[in-house]
Amino acid sequence: MSDPVTVVVRRRVRAGCEAEYEAWLAQLTKGVAQNFEGYLGAEFSRPRPGGAYRSVFHFDRLDHLEAFESSDFRTPIVAEAADYFDGEAAWDRMTGLEFWFGLPHGTRMPQPSPHRMALVLIAVIFFLVLALNLALGPAMAG
């Protein structure tokens, strides 16, 4: 038994080809759903200005994904949309639960302010010293 596998594809689309690309994605997804065992679904997100489309495909097992990747269906349908692409796609394959915990490529995490971090550090040290004092204080007194 294999873990579920997820493929994340990031692809830039030529300006003006967005509608055609999205129609092609719908055609691709429909074909995969009808023709490939183990397909669990897909999610798509449109890019921010200047960004890349993000497509996430889920399969129940690695061998089902590999059957799709090496199929006679995939090669011609990807070639059919070559005019919509602006460069090569970036593919990330993830198995198991790592998809849920990994951040998408290019995600920026907000950084906490130095003042808040200092306050948290002071609070942690204070409560650590207090706990040690309460736990070890009676033993050291007598």
Cβ(6)–Cβ(56) below 8 Å: yes
Residue pointed to by tokens 């993830």: 94
Question: How is residue 119 annotated by DSSP?
Answer: H
Query: What is the per-residue pLDDT for 101?
Result: 57
Query: What is the per-residue pLDDT for 86?
Result: 86
Q: What is the mean pLDDT of each successive set of 10 residues along the chain, which is 142 residues long?
A: 81 90 92 92 87 90 90 90 86 65 58 88 96 90 74
Q: Say yes or no: domain 5-101 is CATH 3.40.50.2300.
A: no
Alpha helices in the chain (DSSP H): 18-35, 62-69, 74-80, 98-101, 114-141
Question: How is residue 85 annotated by DSSP?
Answer: B
Cβ(52)–Cβ(11) below 8 Å: yes
β-strand partners of 91: 9
Query: What is the per-residue pLDDT for 50?
Result: 78
Cβ(27)–Cβ(42) below 8 Å: no
Token duo for residue 52: 């890349």
Going through the chain in order, the beta strands assigned E by DSSP cover 5-11, 39-45, 53-59, 90-95
Q: Are strands 5-11 and 39-45 parallel, antiparallel or unpaired?
A: unpaired
Cβ(16)–Cβ(48) below 8 Å: no
Separation CA 5–CA 70 (nearest Å): 16
Q: Would you list the domain boundaries of the chain?
A: 5-101, 112-142
